[in-house]
Structures are given as C-alpha cells and as structure tokens.
Amino acid sequence: MYPLSLEGIFFSTFVVIKIQNALKNHIVVFSILILSAISCTDKPSETKGVFRYNEAAGISSLDPIYARSQASIWPIHHIFSTLVELDENLDIQPGLAYRWIAEDTVYTFFLRQNIKFHPHPAFADSQRFFTASDVVYSLERLRDPKWSSPGSWTMQGVKSITALSDSVVEIVLEKPFSPFLRLLSMKYCSIVPHEAVAYGEISFGEFPSGTGAYFLKRWIPSEKMILRRNHNYYEKLSENGVESIVVRFIPDKLSAFLSFVKGDLDIISGMDVSYRDNILDEFGELQKRYQSTMKLETTAYLNTEYLAFNLSRLQANNSPYANPLVRQAIHSIIDKDLLVKYILRGLGTPANSGIIPPILHGAELNEYQYSKSSALALLQKAGYPNGKGLPELILTTNPGYQDMAEFVQNQASKIGIPIKVDVTPASTLRQQMATGKIDFFRASWIADYPDPENYMLLFYEHNWPPNGPNYSRFNSIAFNELYEHLRNTDNVQRRDSLLKKMNAELELQNPIIPLFYDQVIRLSLHRVQHLPLHPLNLLDVRNVSLAP
C-alpha cells in the first residue's frame, strides 16, 4: 500500500444563502461534507522518484523567451539554466557563470566548461557543449524584434554582448543599472542552442534543449508533461531525489485538489476558494483532520495587491477624486488588518508600508494607520464634509476579488463615499487598465526581479501604457528624478534615502492604495521533503527528497 492511505475523501456541495438586511449583504456558506470510504491503491513502484503537480492553466510553449506566466516558468526553470540564479533568500548564486566581475557598466562572466545541452536531433552527434557564443546568441535573440518576446525589455539597457573566449562573456550596459544581475536570473534570459531553435521539423517551444537538471521526455497537450532527470547536470542532485516530474493539466481546481487528497499529486500551489473553507480553520491554519497526510507552508510573496486611480482620466474629467485629499481619505478608512483577517483568512500581510513588500527594502518607511477620524478630516479639508457632494465612484474588479472590492465599498460608506463595484472578466479588466477606460480598479504587481526599483517603475512617467505598467498614469517630476537616481546607484544607504523620499511622494499624491502583501501558499504531502518556498513562487525540485 502507498503510505498515504485515506480513511475517506471529501466531496463538497456548497449551499449559498444570501441574507439581506437594512445594513448590508451577508453571504453565509454551508459546506456539506459527504464521506465515502476509499483507500489509495498507488504502489510504491509507481510513485518512487516521481514528483507530481497540476497546472490548471496549461502550458503553451517551453521556449524561455516567452516565459511570461508561472505555468511555463516552472518547467522552463528545470529544463534551462541562466548565468546566475536567485535562491529562496533572494541572494544571487552562480548558474552557468561560476563567477563574475561587475565594474560600473561592464559585467564579465566566467563560464562553467564541459556542460552539455540535452540531446536534440539538431545536433550532428546528438549532443553539444555549451560555450560563450550560446550566451551571446540567447541574449541577442531575446532582444531581436522578430521574435516578439515579452521579455525583450530585459535587454533594453544593454549596449553590447561579446564572447571574449569560449568561457568568458562581457556585457556592457548603456548606463549603470543596479538590479542587472537579478534581472539576468529571469527565465527569459535562459541560455539556448541556436541549432535547436533553427531546427525546422518541430518548434523549439515544443521540443526544447537546455542545460538544466531535467529534460523533456514527453508532452501530451491537455493531459500531461513528463520531465526526466539530466544525469549530465553540472551540479550534484539528491541521490534519493526526483527522477521524473509529471505535470498534469486538470483545468478544474477543485478536481485537482481532490486528486491531491487522494495522493495522486504531491503539491497544490495557492488556496482556491472552491476548497479553502474545507481545509482551513478560522485562523487560517490547516484543520487537524488533514494534518496527518499533508502540510501547509507559507512565505512572503513578492506580490502586492492594490487599488489604483486613473489620475489622467480623473483630472481630464475634473472629478473630485482627482483631489489627492479625497484619495487619502479613501485610503485612511480601509482597515487592512480586518481585510486580511476576514477576507483572506490571515493568508496575507496588511500593506502598511507602501507598494514595496517589506522583505525588499531596508528603509524604515512610514507606516499606514487606519483612522476614521483622519479620513473624515481629510474630506472636510477637501470640501466634502462626510462625503457630501461626492459622485459615485466605480471600482472595477474581476470575479476573484469581488469580496475584497465589496469590503472596500462597505468601508468607504462609513464616511459617506459612494462606491459601486463593477465585476468584469480578468481579460476585460486588463484591457481597460491598458486603454485607460476606467477610473478606479483593483490591480496587483508581482516582481519581475527582486528589487525595490521594480515596484517604483509602476509610477515612472515613461512607463505609461503601452510603454509600461504605470496604469495609474501618475506623473511627478520629483518622483521621476528620484527613480532615475535609484536605478543608477548600488549604495545601500543612498537607495534607502531615495526610497523614503519616493514613498513620501506617493503617500502625498496617493495614486494607489496598497491593500496587502501576498503570500506563497503551498500544500504538500509529507513524503515531499526539502522543497524550498521561494518569494517569487518558483518551483525548484533539484534538492527535493521523496520519502518512500
């Protein structure tokens, strides 16, 4: 018998009763659990050395220059290598480069030798050794417009990429850019062999070749993908570790969760509302009935959820919400601690120090304080006592965040600010954000690379859509100058000083309302050991051990 033997499996029927009263709407959710006694029949030989997870969204390509979503990033991380990597502490570690020298705008990388790409029919003798020319090709391909890579921006500040020898590469920047090494750890910057990319019989995205710890063995779209261990990998892997990675493509998250409960999957990433209330208690902890078969792990995630005002549109329409005092009042009335406790079940951290997650900065930034009296005073100062005279403000969100938007709506009503929640599909919301057709909306920012600069670029003038993600259309000469200085300095004290000033400018203008810092949430079977939790939610099984 497989070690995970269940007494029963839980099937959920949700009965939702909406009770209305004169004050607000309440949603009462009853979960009816039906036990059906079954036992798992997996045999040890069927799961030994096999790590299994589900990818509900599916995978469209394994070409790293298109590694935009987590769905593709996870397998690409195992198939390919980059010059440098980031560990779970966000420290830079050697990758294909075993050491490097950074001097102002010049980066010199010294490369590992005798590393082979995975076998591919494009290679004359079915194998090929990695050299510096592959780094040049890969990074030049990334910024070549003909490939239309969503990651081409990573090379925008690069002046030249040169192979000084088979084992040394020099990259010269147009001007100093302090986060450059972290940027090179992104999967867009993975190193690929030109012959395999040019191979005509099948696309590189379907049949890739990299230098990573695993290679693609089989891919059946809509069913599963299998990766096998690369025994020529340049670093030692765990002897009792993962020999194969099996990715399932179960689109329904509740069905995937039930497969996990049965022992057919090893991990579940995230906490979907379809099963959250069945496994978590009121404090956000794993219910005791599940603790013998699985574990719940969390860590800080470089993702900030926020509300944004479209300042350009509000100003053009002479809206009262173009007044920063009114925006500050809305910010002040939102009880973020309450939001995290009751809406998120404690699975998050109130965003009380601005847009940048605390793990990314050393600066002691001003702490946000919830205060109804301050909010009312701000409205009074703005000329709208108790919200009198304010028009309805439409808050646009997608279905997954409707409860959060309604929480904000309720909070704002306490000081007389009328907010209407408009729920729209996520794709429509993204389009409206990009085209500037909405006034007030829910958004989030997951760091591309772990540096405060990557959050502050959200407010840089030259990053207005379609050139970048400044969806609030914020524009401040003072902020722009501070941001440019931040990009160009490595000095820690100088950066902390700049961040304090930038954060103060954002607090004054309030283009956004940070709500909470997200968490990486993972459920895993007890047989999975030594699987790191990464602040970028990166899956890395290279050092995982699987208990028998």
CATH number of the domain at 502, please. Answer: 3.10.105.10
State both tokens at 277. 């209330």
The whole-number pLDDT of residue 45 equals: 54
Domain assignment of residue 380, given as a range = 301-519
> Around Cβ 36, how many Cβ atoms within 10 Å?
9
Q: Does 257 reside within a domain? A: no
Q: CA 79, CA 76: separation in Å to the nearest integer?
A: 5
Q: Does 124 reside within a domain? A: no
Q: CA 422, CA 396: separation in Å to the nearest integer?
A: 5
The whole-number pLDDT of residue 364 equals: 60
Helices (H), 383-534: 402-413, 426-435, 453-456, 477-487, 492-509
Q: CA 524, CA 427: separation in Å to the nearest integer?
A: 31
The whole-number pLDDT of residue 193 equals: 97
The DSSP element (H or E) to which 257 belongs, if any, is helix 253-262
Angle between helices 324-333 and 402-413 (to 10 degrees): 110
Q: CA 444, CA 26: separation in Å to the nearest integer?
A: 26
Reported residue count of the chain is 548
Classify each residue of 303-319 as buried b or exposed e, where b means 16 or more C-beta atoms within 10 Å of its C-beta: bbbbbbbbbbbbeeeeb
Successive 10-residue mean pLDDT values, the chain, 548 residues: 30 26 31 32 65 95 95 97 96 97 96 96 86 98 95 94 98 94 97 95 94 97 96 88 96 94 95 87 89 94 97 97 98 96 91 91 71 97 97 96 96 98 95 96 94 95 93 97 93 91 94 96 96 96 92
Q: Does 197 reside within a domain? A: no
Q: Which residue has the tokens 């009263």?
A: 21
The whole-number pLDDT of residue 353 equals: 87
The whole-number pLDDT of residue 200 equals: 83
Q: Does 108 reside within a domain? A: no
The whole-number pLDDT of residue 362 equals: 59
* Nearest of 42, 78, 73, 44 to residue 59 by alpha carbon: 73
Q: CA 396, CA 380: separation in Å to the nearest integer?
A: 26
Which residue(s) pair with 524 in the sheet?
A: 267, 295
Q: CA 301, CA 322: separation in Å to the nearest integer?
A: 32
Taking the model in full, what pTM does it have?
0.85
What dihedral angle (degrees, nearest 10) is formed by the CA atoms of 311, 315, 318, 324? Answer: 60
Q: CA 322, CA 311: separation in Å to the nearest integer?
A: 6
The whole-number pLDDT of residue 46 equals: 67
CA distances from 413 to 372, 386, 393 (A): 11, 10, 11
* Residue 3 preceded by cis peptide, ω within 30: no
The whole-number pLDDT of residue 240 equals: 80
Q: CA 61, CA 216: separation in Å to the nearest integer?
A: 12
Name residues whose C-beta falls within 8 Å of residue 284's C-beta, 6 or more positions apart in sequence: 344, 345, 346, 347
State both tokens at 422. 């408009």
What dihedral angle (degrees, nearest 10) is formed by the CA atoms of 362, 364, 369, 374? Answer: -140
Q: φ and ψ at 142, to 5 degrees?
A: -60, -35
* Nearest of 290, 255, 292 to residue 54 by alpha carbon: 255
CA distances from 440 to 170, 210, 400, 409 (A): 45, 44, 17, 12
> Around Cβ 464, how many Cβ atoms within 10 Å?
17
State both tokens at 513. 């309302």
Q: How far is CA 27 from the centre of its chain?
A: 30
Q: CA 349, CA 341: separation in Å to the nearest integer?
A: 9
On whether the CB atoms of residues 452 and 496 are closer than 8 A, the answer is no
Q: Which residue has the tokens 């709208």?
A: 384
Q: Which residue has the tokens 């961040």?
A: 499
Q: How many domains does the chain have?
A: 1
Beta strand pairing status for 419-423 and 393-397? parallel
Q: Which residue has the tokens 């490595």?
A: 490
SS3 assignment, position 297: strand
CA distances from 31 to 203, 281, 343, 400 (A): 47, 13, 17, 19
The whole-number pLDDT of residue 400 equals: 87
Q: Does 546 reside within a domain? A: no
